[in-house]
Structure 1
Amino acid sequence: MRNPWWNSPESASSEGHVAARRQAFGVRLSVLVCAALCLALPVHAQQPSGDFNRFEITPFVGFVAGGEFEDPLDGADRNVNDDLGWGLIFDIAADRDRHYEFIYIRQGTEVSGEIPLDMDIQYLHLGGTVALPEARHVVPYIGLTVGATRFSPDIGGLSDETKLSFSVGGGMKVPITRHFGLRFDARALITVLDSDSDIFCVSDPPEGACRIRARSDTFLQYMANLGFIAAF
């Protein structure tokens, strides 16, 4: 007799569902951009013209969207639910416009299915950003990071998975005073997977079964967040 924990009916995602997820993420992204711009308007005159700060610490919160796996039994899609994410960015200035960057992101979410799978997704990356030269009041930038993604299913017996990943994106910083400011950041998070390989497998014999399968060579998520900069 089959263990019902491993069974789920075929529920392939429709194009309408995918479009709805993208639209919802777009709305959230627009809200964060508008919030950052509105907060920036009254503080332009407060941006100092002195020397730049050497270090920046930015705690942030935002929305994480995207991510898809496959059911190993019936090939049905198992989407990762869009959810809140939070994290921390630590910057070290190489000069006024270039920063080395350490970033940590965590999302607590759920993988869809007849029996949903709770899961934490964590990113730990190193990289850097390059800002638009001479920008002062609102400072646009682009960035690239590389590191690792850790998938941690919240079910006993399932093994965690750690994979190579990288991110590309951009955003803007809005200085309020010399030592404080706001940061809006949006990026694509790309994790490298082995196509059609089983993951989240039961580590204790004799079951030896796996919960889901990688759908392609990459696991793609998008994140938009708003953070508070403390610089020194």
Structure 2
Amino acid sequence: MRRGVIHAVTSALVMAIAGTSIARADGTKFEITPFVGQMAGGEFEDTTTGGDRDVENDLDYGLFFNVNAGSPDRQYEMFYAQQGTSVEGAVPIDIDIQYLHVGGIVNFTDVQPVVPFFGITIGATKFSPDATGLDDETKFSVSVGGGLKYKFTDHFGLRLDLRAFVSMLDTDGGFLCASTPAGAGCAITASSDTFVQYHGSLGFIAAF
């Protein structure tokens, strides 16, 4: 009799554990997070005067896409961000700065209901000047950052994201250059080997 009770209890526990595993497997595995934020920082050097030309702080927008990497604690991440801004100077240069990155984040899910996270990504930065004859530039970049997630339902929430972007530049040559029949020239040049920007955004999480 006792053996039968033990067997029944053991079976119930196994079924409960299996049920929990199935419930977790059927939980959300993807997150899509459109966001809007502010991008700050970044500077170049004027090819004529040698003075600094700062990139104006401006709004940016984009999208995070996350996939669980075995558990909700770890996620693969891909994101795109775009900032429409200008390079300050006597003759400002309108420019779009775009980031396309992949990487991963760690969610500290033992802290609820607001979940901190930390992540690192790598990818490319594209500089696209809005000026006739100037060429686009694409450079390797990395980002390091973190933030907070708050889920008000299983499928919807908010994401606060703070991060730094570091793009690798070449100080030996010009930047945003043009080649015309009248000759070649560069509007600006890199002021250092790195171009650093800081980003803060608020996004709306849709989880599936």
* d(CA) in 2 for partners of 1:203, 1:91: 41
Partner of residue 4, structure 2: none
* d(CA) in 1 for partners of 2:115, 2:179: 48
Deviation, structure 1 residue 204: 2.4
Matches for 1:56-95 after TM superposition, within 5 Å: 56-94=31-69, 95=71
Partner of residue 176, structure 1: 152
> TM-score of the superposition, structure 1-length normalised?
0.77
What are the ranges of 5 or more consecutive residues in structure 1 without an aligned counterpart? 1-49
Partner of residue 30, structure 2: 55
Partner of residue 75, structure 2: 99
Deviation, structure 1 residue 196: 4.3
Partner of residue 91, structure 2: 115
Matches for 1:167-206 after TM superposition, within 5 Å: 167-206=143-182
1:208 aligns to what SS in structure 2?
strand
Deviation, structure 1 residue 205: 3.0
What are the ranges of 5 or more consecutive residues in structure 2 without an aligned counterpart? 1-22
1:118-153 CA distance string (max 9 Å, x none): 000000000010011422311100000000000000
Moved more, 214-223 or 199-208: 199-208
Question: Are the counterparts in 2 of residues 79 and 112 from structure 1 also a CA contact under 8 Å?
Answer: yes
Aligned residues: 183
Question: Are the counterparts in 2 of residues 196 and 216 from structure 1 also a CA contact under 8 Å?
Answer: no
1:98-128 CA distance string (max 9 Å, x none): 0000010000001001110000000000001
1:166 aligns with 2:142: yes
Deviation, structure 1 residue 53: 1.2
* d(CA) in 2 for partners of 1:134, 1:167: 25
Structure with a larger share of its residues in strand: 2
Deviation, structure 1 residue 156: 1.0
Of 119, 138, 142, 2:118 maps to 142
> TM-score of the superposition, structure 2-length normalised?
0.86
Deviation, structure 1 residue 207: 2.2
Deviation, structure 1 residue 83: 0.3
Q: What's the RMSD between the two structures over aligned residues?
A: 1.0
- Identity fraction in percent: 56
2:90 aligns to what SS in structure 1?
coil
Q: Report the residue type matching 1:107 in the other structure.
A: Q
* d(CA) in 2 for partners of 1:227, 1:151: 24
Highest CA radius of gyration, 1 or 2?
A: 2
2:179 aligns to what SS in structure 1?
coil
Task: Could you list the structure 1 runs, at least 4 aligned residues long, displaced by more than 6 angstroms after superposition.
Answer: none
Of 211, 217, 227, 2:187 maps to 211
* d(CA) in 2 for partners of 1:67, 1:100: 28
* d(CA) in 1 for partners of 2:38, 2:190: 23
Deviation, structure 1 residue 96: 1.5
